[in-house]
Structures are given as structure tokens and as C-alpha cells.
């Protein structure tokens, strides 16, 4: 695997970044894989040197982040993996769904990891 600098952050990331929108709860979107179906892909990516993963709090209403967190905990050394996530879009069908991130209802430890390495806001 080839690695590159992530801007000026000092982080080295694999040239390939695996987006994990596909892993989560099929109730959110019919094409989403369950945790049991998705874990082999995450494990294989880590085994082949992918250390950069992208997710968002809204993917499967947070389940995607939780699955990624458990996979990193089970298959990798946390300090060797770079997790990017995004916040802003609603986390539920509730009109105030996007407030969950701001109010701390989506604590980082609920994802199985203590911190995201990079946080983006999807605010338009």
C-alpha cells in the first residue's frame, strides 16, 4: 500500500480511503450491509494496509460509525488508523435530528473509539 500525507496534519494515510456508508442498518437504506456482512470487507481492507476510513454520523443514523469503531477495535491498532467523519445532516427523522451531535448525544465512545481524527461539517 502506498501512503501519502493528509494535507499538513502530519498524518500518513493510505492512497485508498474506504468509505463505510455501505455498512450499517438496512432499515436506513436497502443496499446497506449488516455488520456481519460488512466486517469481512473492513478486516480485509485493514489487512491490506488501508488505514484511512470515511464515515458520517448520519449513515444508518450512526450505526455505520459504531460498526467501524468495533472493527478497528477488533482488527487494528487504533493509533495506526485514521478515521474521518462528518456531522451536520439529521441523525433521525425528527425535525431537530441534527442537534444530536451538538448536544453530545452521539458521544465518541458510542462509536467504539474515543475520537475521530478528522471531522468535517457538511453544512452547505
For the beta carbon of residue 76, count every other beta carbon within 10 angstroms. Answer: 18
Q: Where are the alpha helices (DSSP H) in 3-123?
A: 35-47, 63-75, 99-103
Domain that holds residue 112: 3-121
Kindly report, residue by residue over 7-50, the tens digit of the pLDDT: 888 889 999 999 999 999 999 999 999 999 999 999 999 999 99
Pairing label, strands 82-87, 118-121:
parallel
**Number of domains forming the structure of the chain:** 1
Residue 85 has pLDDT above 70, yes or no: yes
CATH code at position 65: 3.20.20.100
The answer to whether residue 59 is catalytic is yes
Task: Check residues 89 and 59 and name the one with the higher pLDDT.
Answer: 59
Catalytic residue among 42, 54, 59, 101: 59
Kindly report, residue by residue over 89-110, the tens digit of the pLDDT: 666 666 665 544 444 444 444 4
Amino acid at each position: 500500500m502506498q501512503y501519502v500525507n493528509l494535507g499538513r496534519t502530519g498524518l500518513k494515510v493510505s492512497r485508498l480511503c474506504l468509505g463505510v456508508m455501505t455498512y450499517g442498518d438496512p432499515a436506513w437504506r436497502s443496499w446497506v450491509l449488516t455488520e456481519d456482512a460488512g466486517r469481512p470487507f473492513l478486516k480485509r481492507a485493514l489487512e491490506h494496509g488501508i488505514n484511512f476510513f470515511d464515515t458520517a454520523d448520519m449513515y444508518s443514523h450512526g450505526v455505520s460509525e459504531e460498526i467501524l469503531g468495533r472493527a478497528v477495535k477488533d482488527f487494528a491498532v487504533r493509533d495506526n488508523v485514521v478515521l474521518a467523519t462528518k456531522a451536520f445532516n439529521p441523525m433521525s427523522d425528527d425535525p431537530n435530528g441534527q442537534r444530536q451531535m451538538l448536544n453530545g448525544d452521539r458521544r465518541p465512545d458510542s462509536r467504539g473509539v474515543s475520537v475521530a481524527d478528522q471531522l468535517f461539517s457538511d453544512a452547505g
